[in-house]
Structure 1
Amino acid sequence: MKILIAPDKFKHSLTAQEVCKIIENGLKEKSGSLEIESFPMADGGEGTSEILALQANAKPVSAKVHDPLMRNIEAQYFIKDKTAFIEMASASGLQLLKSDEQNVLKTTSFGTGELIKDGIIKGCNEIILCIGGSATSDGGAGMASALGFQFLNDEGEQFIPTAENLHLIKLIKMPEDHFFKDIKVSVLTDVNNPLTGKNGASYQYAIQKGALEKDLEFLDKGMQHLKDIIFQQFNFNIDQHSGAGASGGMGGGSTFFLNADLHSGIEFIADALNLEDKVKNADLVISGEGKLDTQSFQGKVVSGVLNSCQKLDKSLFLVVGYNGYKSELPKEIKAVISLTDLAKSQEEAIKKASFWLQKAAFQLFENTKTL
């Protein structure tokens, strides 16, 4: 039997590579005759650049940049030939801040711009920017500042925009040395929110980055102001594509500041990694993620794998940290195994994720024997 293991990471617990390895080892412990291919996946969220770099055999490089609070750090990205694979979270991510440092009003995406600049200086003419996990909500203006865009207030003073002061932007000046204008940029996101409004960047994601409920209207107005200024000056709408609100508006901002193409992460990755061919060659497929919910079927790894299974009439088994999906599952999904159910508590499942994932692999083996 040929089995394809194609999961996402289990956030705050296991990488996609680790999930693959544990499930594969567990299945092989039960039967040495299984033919297994491990194929770690991502959808534009944290860890995506590493997955793409792994498949492309890209090499890691480091650069000195600024973190979300403008402190000096060293961040990593990947280069293959003239393509740079950059993770926004490595320079501007929530993971870089302690819980008491998280304040979306003051954080900046400046460091992400520095990573992009470093890749271009090193000779790259294509950037694949994965924008999940950011600590920011500056519409990509901080990133743009690092690339030479100037943001001026009423007094003509230049400043680096953050969510706290987006409303002070009076004028945007294009870079004098637009050294990146011919660079091809693809931005990958795992959400499809618009830039502004109740379903936009501020209302949907700012609280998890340290904002308070009372801040949301102010934050949304600041994002709207950035959108209006760019439209007034350049006749460009940064809120015209699905996913514009991703990562504090980096999705929308990048379409103007970087002339980027905005992509559904899972669709881009499934195509880049030839997921459909992998599924076609398997007898059954195993996927999963940290938490299964309605969003899992809206642009996440599980949705991408499911789409291929539906197209090719393949059985799909899911292993998840926690199963919060209460509706009827598509018929292709034969079983959902939850580590929380096995461990009897979510805390225990997270604490000993590797142990319970191995137990889940054993249960998977019993379930697949009937196929």
Structure 2
Amino acid sequence: MKILFAPNSFKESLSSVQIVRILSEEFAEIDGEKILLPLSDGGDGFLDVIDFINSDKCRSYFFQNEFGGIISENKVLINATTEELFIESAEVIGLRKLPLHLRKPMNLNTYALGNLIKQVIAARNNSQLSYFNKIIFGIGGTATIDFGLGTVEALGVKFFDKNKNLIKPVPENFLTIDEINYSDFQLSLLKDVKISCIADVDTPLLGSNSAIELYSNQKGAGKEEIDKIKKGIEHIANLLLEKKIVSDIFALNGAGGGLAAGLNIFLKAEIIPSKSFISDLLLEEIDITEIDYLITGEGKFDIQSFEGKATGELIKKFSPKVKNIFLVCGMIDENVKDLLPENVICFQLVDYFTNTAEAIKNAEIGLRSVSKKIFQLLVSQ
């Protein structure tokens, strides 16, 4: 028996690395080979996964930053062998950085991420950290919906209204922006650095069923705010279209509240879909034909999980090859259960508690309870 443990993180609860370690303990006595492969689609836990896979090559560095009025340390990783620096957007501007009462996306932007870019470049140039010539961003789990404008604001881009007043680029102000000025843009800081983004979704930023409509509510935006954010980003995108900086506003990637699209436009970053990242890097040494069982999961599994997210991609890839897939999630949307292949067996942590909040708080207890059930199913086969 060969079992692949490949979960994604449970947002605001357990990282994928924590989950595989718990599963490893619970299945210690199983008769078979266990392969531990925590996953990331660029969102929460991205750095943990990179460090787990390359633990002998990576070194952590910490930089102080401010986001949403809260000062904290931001971790980055450098793989000195490949000269790559890894940044997780959720570590800098993520939902987990803010308590509920501060999750107000109309007044938040990604300035902290741009400030971190400046800090790591300065530290590299002063030999305070290992040399790197690539920056790889994990994009996902952000509390922001700002099209990456805050990031480039930190790098010197200025925004003005029609009366030439300087405007802070937060969604509340987007519709008043009339001019984007690049005269102080410090793009030269990155002249020798290649930038890539691992995007957790393929969903377009704008248009029908846009990323703004699908994901803004979980960031704290109400319906009226979502409408205003969408109109504001359309306005900014059209300003860029007029200047021929973008060619199609409906082809923009929606990951990270438009952060991936903004990094692509302003910093020439390559956008890498998470399914490519998972297949080409995380799964490159896994022979699917040798796997008998897959245990995977994420915090909430719904129709969006099939939009390029890690767990959905694994189910598509492995279901024709393995005997069973055990899908372990905090919650599984009833509407998607009929879309799952017949060999997928579902488990929800919420079934072990009285409500969702209790399940999140006690996720490890729930996971261990589910693991015992799966263990019994495996030894009985």
Task: Name the TM-score, length of structure 2 as normaliser.
Answer: 0.87
Contact 2:3 2:292 in 1 (8 A): yes
CA distance, structure 2, for counterparts of residue 77 and residue 340 of structure 1: 33
| 4+ residue runs over 6 A deviation | none
Q: How does 1:274-313 map to 2 (within 5 A)?
A: 274-275=283-284, 277=286, 279-310=288-319, 312-313=321-322
Contact 2:64 2:74 in 1 (8 A): yes
CA distance, structure 2, for counterparts of residue 146 and residue 98 of structure 1: 24
Which among 43, 49, 52 is matched to residue 50 of structure 2? 52
1:91 aligns with 2:85: no
User: Would the alpha carbon gap of residues 26 and 50 (structure 1) be closer, same or farther in structure 2, given more than 3 Å must change?
Assistant: closer
Aligned-residue offset at 1:349: 3.5
Contact 1:9 1:15 in 2 (8 A): yes
Q: How does 1:208-357 map to 2 (within 5 A)?
A: 208-237=218-247, 239=249, 241=251, 244-275=253-284, 277=286, 279-310=288-319, 312-313=321-322, 315-324=324-333, 325-333=336-344, 335-343=345-353, 346-357=356-367
SS at match of 1:28: coil
CA distance, structure 2, for counterparts of residue 196 and residue 157 of structure 1: 27
- Of residues 297-306 and 219-228 in structure 1, the stretch that sits farther from structure 2 once superposed is 297-306
Match of 1:36 in 2: 34
Contact 1:227 1:237 in 2 (8 A): no
- Of residues 317-326 and 37-46 in structure 1, the stretch that sits farther from structure 2 once superposed is 317-326
Aligned-residue offset at 1:311: 5.8
Q: How does 1:100-179 map to 2 (within 5 A)?
A: 100-121=101-122, 122=124, 123-174=131-182, 175=185, 178-179=188-189
SS at match of 1:154: coil
CA distance, structure 1, for counterparts of residue 249 and residue 372 of structure 2: 47
Match of 1:2 in 2: 2
Aligned-residue offset at 1:119: 3.0
User: Would the alpha carbon gap of residues 138 and 339 (structure 1) be closer, same or farther in structure 2, given more than 3 Å must change?
Assistant: closer
Aligned-residue offset at 1:344: 6.5
- Of residues 315-324 and 17-26 in structure 1, the stretch that sits farther from structure 2 once superposed is 315-324
Contact 1:132 1:246 in 2 (8 A): yes
- Of residues 177-186 and 106-115 in structure 1, the stretch that sits farther from structure 2 once superposed is 177-186
User: Would the alpha carbon gap of residues 127 and 367 (structure 1) be closer, same or farther in structure 2, given more than 3 Å must change?
Assistant: same
SS at match of 1:85: strand
Contact 1:28 1:34 in 2 (8 A): no
CA distance, structure 1, for counterparts of residue 356 and residue 219 of structure 2: 23
Number of residue equivalences: 366
CA distance, structure 1, for counterparts of residue 188 and residue 168 of structure 2: 18
User: Would the alpha carbon gap of residues 313 and 233 (structure 1) be closer, same or farther in structure 2, given more than 3 Å must change?
Assistant: same
CA distance, structure 1, for counterparts of residue 357 and residue 102 of structure 2: 25
SS at match of 2:337: coil
Match of 1:77 in 2: 76
Contact 1:85 1:129 in 2 (8 A): yes
1:134 alignment partner AA: T
CA distance, structure 2, for counterparts of residue 366 and residue 136 of structure 1: 43
SS at match of 2:48: helix
The sequence identity of aligned pairs, in percent, is 31
User: Would the alpha carbon gap of residues 41 and 275 (structure 1) be closer, same or farther in structure 2, given more than 3 Å must change?
Assistant: farther
Aligned-residue offset at 1:41: 0.8
SS at match of 1:304: helix
CA distance, structure 1, for counterparts of residue 212 and residue 306 of structure 2: 23
- For residues 250-273 of structure 1, the C-alpha deviation after alignment (integer angstroms, 9 at most, x for no partner) is 122121111112222233133112
Contact 1:276 1:308 in 2 (8 A): no
CA distance, structure 2, for counterparts of residue 217 and residue 323 of structure 1: 28
User: Would the alpha carbon gap of residues 185 and 290 (structure 1) be closer, same or farther in structure 2, given more than 3 Å must change?
Assistant: same
- Root-mean-square deviation (Å): 2.5
SS at match of 2:121: helix
1:104 alignment partner AA: P
CA distance, structure 2, for counterparts of residue 5 and residue 80 of structure 1: 25
Which among 206, 215, 229 is matched to residue 216 of structure 2? 206
- Of residues 102-111 and 267-276 in structure 1, the stretch that sits farther from structure 2 once superposed is 267-276
Task: Name the TM-score, length of structure 1 as normaliser.
Answer: 0.89
